[in-house]
Amino acid sequence: MIGGDIYYLLGEISCLLRIRRTASVRCLSETTVIQISGDQLMSYFEENKDSGFHFMKRIAILLAQRISKTDGLLQQLLWNV
């Protein structure tokens, strides 16, 4: 959340692995969507190393949170923890 606005990142897996998208989205209210080419983004990060580092750090945190949540759900499902 930045300045009261909520931002979601989609397509990070396809950008990093250079594969087709793995998710789709439906919006419940008016939404602004920005599409950025993965190749253009990576070129930008090559030229702007600090921005690339911060972006990749955020991606790592996001993926770690998703793995942690999935692990918890699997524990509940498999072992009724």
Q: Closest Cα to residue 6, out of 27, 37, 36, 24? A: 27
pLDDT at 2: 47
pLDDT digits (tens, 9 = 90+) for 47-76: 999 999 998 898 899 889 989 999 999 999
State how far the Cα of 37 lies from the Cα of 29, in Å rounded to an integer.
25
Please report, rounded to a whole number, the percentage of residues in the chain having pLDDT higher than 70: 89
Quick check: pTM over 0.75? no
Query: Do 10 and 25 contact (CB within 8 A), yes or no?
Result: yes
pLDDT at 1 over 70: no
Please write down the long-range contacts of 14-18, taking CB distance under 8 Å and 24 or more positions apart. 14/38, 15/41, 15/42, 16/59
